[in-house]
Amino acid sequence: MGERTVVLGVIGADVHAVGLRVLDYVLRNAGFDVVNIGVLSSQEDFIKAAIESGARAILVSSLYGHAELDCKGFKEKLKEAGLEDIILYIGGNLGVGQKDWNEVEKKFKDLGFHRVYPPKTSPEDVVRDLKKDLGLE
């Protein structure tokens, strides 16, 4: 794997897979090497996949509204695993009864995520941002 390798998955007790499949397809068509760990994934699953594949980015999806709970301490675990420089994205329905989006975005940036996407974000926006953040443009 290499500079275009990313890990993609749904964190926590979430089984929403349709968006994950769409993102996987779009990323592959954009030339990325995708390690899709699927649904019901723990922080450790993401970390293990990133280490094994040499990924440069982790893309976390969550639609069931409990992402904050699922992602607490994730950045610290990444640092402990030697992945402090990995690019970290999250998107979806990140909170139950999502409040003000700016508040939600700030909360996840404070948790260490580089980019935070609301529901209905175009996959092409993610590809554009990923190319930019990985210096592939």
Task: Report the binding-site residues.
Answer: 13-17, 61-63, 93-97
3-state secondary structure (DSSP) of residue 52: helix
From CA 25, how far away is CA 81, in angstroms rounded? 28
Token pair for 29: 């068509």
Where is the binding site for adenosylcob(III)alamin, in residues? 13-17, 61-63, 93-97
Determine whether 66 is an active site residue: no
Half-sphere exposure of 116 (CA within 13 A, CB side): 19
State how beta strands 57-62 and 5-11 pair.
parallel
Determine whether 114 is an active site residue: no
Which positions are catalytic? Answer: 14, 16
